[in-house]
Amino acid sequence: MNDIYLYNTLSRKKEKFIPIEEGKAGMYCCGPTVYNYAHIGNLRAYFFEDILKRILLYNGLQVKHVMNITDVGHLVSDADEGEDKMEKGARREGKTVWQIAEYFADEFMKDIKLLNILPPTLWCKATEHIEEQIKLIKCLEEKGFTYVTSDGVYYDTSKFRNYGELGRIDIEGLEEGKRISFSEEKRNKTDFSLWKFSPANRKRQMEWDSPWGKGFPGWHLECSAMSMKYLGDNFDIHCGGVDHIPVHHTNEIAQSEACTGRKFVNYWLHCEFLLEDKGKMSKSAGEFLKLKSLLDHGYSPLDFRYFLMMTHYRKKIMFSFDALDSARNGYRNLREKISEIKSKVTEKDIINDTNIRFFGRKFTDCINDDLNITEAVAVLWETIKDTNLNASEKLNLLTDFDKVLGLEFNTIPAGEVEYEIPDEIKLLAEKRKIAKSEKNYVRADELRRLINGKGYEIMDTKTGYEIKKIRNSI
């Protein structure tokens, strides 16, 4: 097996990936909070995770990929009066929180399917793991990491050695922060809730009994509880967006390791943001771009997928429609080249293993170097343009590369599809051919315009002409 190097946020270095169990990889990805649609920035993270997973698979590892659905209990703000996002979303849509959760989880799954993101091995919902979460709090309570305030059960971060190691958090610096609201009852700036009590004056739609009182789990708990349940106390990879580093993942580590006394996760991988000209894309600002918004503008999901491949996952991407246009053009050109290659494949082609191995090696070297997908795409283009490889060798390689890229090369038809051209268009083309042979170019050009107007393109060749549907997508 080839070595895979991954950038570990814990060490801030690229490290060789050594799985806990040989030949296998356990991977947990923080999934969506299903109170609204995913925006295209959210989707970038799932795309990144997909590439990571595909690379592990490509290298022959058996991957167990777990993704959670957060369908409960994140407060809108840190302040006590905050209403949680789920309940807020439900009120906005005039539905129950359960309906909201189901609807948006479903929409999310549709989005990732459109983006050709492989589904996780296992989905898990926060509301279906309340028992596991309570058990984890009990464990922390027994070990003396918790305290109870008027609004919930809290985690005492001062008790945990190395708190904030992942984010290299300067807790002193935080004290000087201006924008942080500080609950009087919290013992430390960084303490966070494990269990929140339901407000006395209002019944929540989602609440459960617990040894400490009726309420709902804190926002970091579910990921600790569920990841350990399905992947074990110590597992290989945990990923998410960079925003999770300082709080969410930091707290997950604190909770999990305090309870088990073991190292929680070996490799932490984080994906950078997608930005707009206004700055970071966010839902709270109101309007935001969804995958559907892009489709409404006439882009295909894979245009967007290709767009995401133009930048390394640890770099910010500036989204603009100009940039998306350039990606779409690139992806269309790519498909046309592949279509052409497919039409050139013959049974007489001899497959030369040395040729194949050279490009295959190059490709693997890129992807295994911390997911250098951008350079891998360059290798893809080199392969397409290479003059020594024959069509079969190229197709062989491209099909292989697509296991990682996920650009659906398999759906691309070989060359022109004759029968898709309507008789009407064929007739016009024949008329034009006659006009041309009579050197009646005015008439010929007129007919060409007519054909164009009907959505087809005519191209002269040495022997005659070719008709092609004007591309929206091949």
Partner RNA sequence: GGCGUCGUACCCAAGUGGCUUAAGGGAGCAGUCUGCAAAACUGUUAUGCAUCGGUUCGAAUCCGAUCGACGCCUCCA
Q: Where in 11-30 is the site for RNA (CB under 7 A)?
A: 30
Site for RNA in 228-287 (CB under 7 A): 240-244, 246-248, 271-275, 279-284
Number of residues that bind RNA (CB under 7 A): 81
- Tell me how far, at minimum, the Cβ of 260 lies from RNA, in Å: 22
Q: For residue 284, which amino acid is it?
A: S
- Tell me how far, at minimum, the Cβ of 193 lies from RNA, in Å: 10
Q: Tell me which long-range contacts 113-117 makes (C-beta under 8 A, separation of at least 24).
A: 114/291, 114/301, 115/43, 115/46, 115/47, 115/50, 115/291, 115/301, 115/302, 115/304, 115/305, 116/50, 116/301, 116/302, 116/305, 116/406, 116/407, 116/408, 117/46, 117/47, 117/49, 117/50, 117/406
Site for RNA in 77-116 (CB under 7 A): 77-78, 85
Query: Which region among 58-66, 127-135, 226-234, 312-320 touches RNA (by CB under 7 A)?
Result: 312-320
- Tell me how far, at minimum, the Cβ of 22 lies from RNA, in Å: 28
Q: Which is nearer to RNA, 2 or 333 (CB)?
A: 333
Site for RNA in 363-392 (CB under 7 A): 369, 372, 374-375, 377-378, 381-382, 385, 387
- What is the C-alpha to C-alpha distance for residues 392 and 143, in angstroms, rounded to an integer? 63
Q: How far is CA 67 from CA 235, 236, 404, in A?
A: 14, 14, 20
The pair of structure tokens assigned to 96 is: 């129950």
Q: For residue 156, which amino acid is it?
A: D
Q: Give the one residue of 13, 20, 441, 455 binding RNA; rule: CB under 7 A.
A: 441
Q: How far is CA 439 from CA 442, 443, 451, in A?
A: 9, 9, 19
- Tell me how far, at minimum, the Cβ of 70 lies from RNA, in Å: 7
Q: Which is nearer to RNA, 148 or 323 (CB)?
A: 323
- Tell me how far, at minimum, the Cβ of 108 lies from RNA, in Å: 10
- Tell me how far, at minimum, the Cβ of 21 lies from RNA, in Å: 27
Q: Which is nearer to RNA, 64 or 448 (CB)?
A: 448
Residues 6+ apart with CB under 8 A from 451: 425, 428, 429, 432, 457, 458, 467
Q: How far is CA 324 from CA 99, 117, 306, in A?
A: 34, 19, 9
Q: Give the one residue of 404, 444, 451, 467 binding RNA; rule: CB under 7 A.
A: 444
**Binding flag, residue 294, RNA (CB under 7 A):** no
In the shown chain, the binding pattern of residues 170 to 209 toward RNA, with x for contact by CB under 7 A and - for none, equals x-xxx-xxxxx-----------------------------
Q: Which is nearer to RNA, 315 or 454 (CB)?
A: 315
- Tell me how far, at minimum, the Cβ of 403 lies from RNA, in Å: 19
Q: Which is nearer to RNA, 177 or 286 (CB)?
A: 177
Query: Which region among 36-44, 52-60, 202-210, 404-412 touches RNA (by CB under 7 A)?
Result: 36-44
Q: How far is CA 202 from CA 76, 197, 199, 207, 474, in A?
A: 17, 11, 6, 11, 56
The number of beta carbons lying within 10 Å of the beta carbon of residue 96 is: 14
- What is the C-alpha to C-alpha distance for residues 154 and 192, in angstroms, rounded to an integer? 6
Q: Which is nearer to RNA, 136 or 366 (CB)?
A: 366
- What is the C-alpha to C-alpha distance for residues 252 and 254, in angstroms, rounded to an integer? 5
Q: Which is nearer to RNA, 83 or 408 (CB)?
A: 83
Q: Give the one residue of 201, 354, 461, 463 binding RNA; rule: CB under 7 A.
A: 461
Q: Give the one residue of 7, 197, 219, 235 binding RNA; rule: CB under 7 A.
A: 219
Phi/psi for 196 (5° steps) reads -110, 135
Q: Which is nearer to RNA, 19 or 35 (CB)?
A: 35
| Closest by Cα among 145, 347, 139, 107 to 233 | 139
Site for RNA in 141-170 (CB under 7 A): 168, 170
Q: Give the one residue of 317, 367, 389, 428 binding RNA; rule: CB under 7 A.
A: 317
User: Is the distance from CB of 324 to CB of 307 less than 8 angstroms?
Assistant: yes
| Residue whose pair of structure tokens reads 């290798």 in the numeric block | 379
Q: Which is nearer to RNA, 175 or 209 (CB)?
A: 175
The pair of structure tokens assigned to 274 is: 């997608």
The pair of structure tokens assigned to 235 is: 């597992």
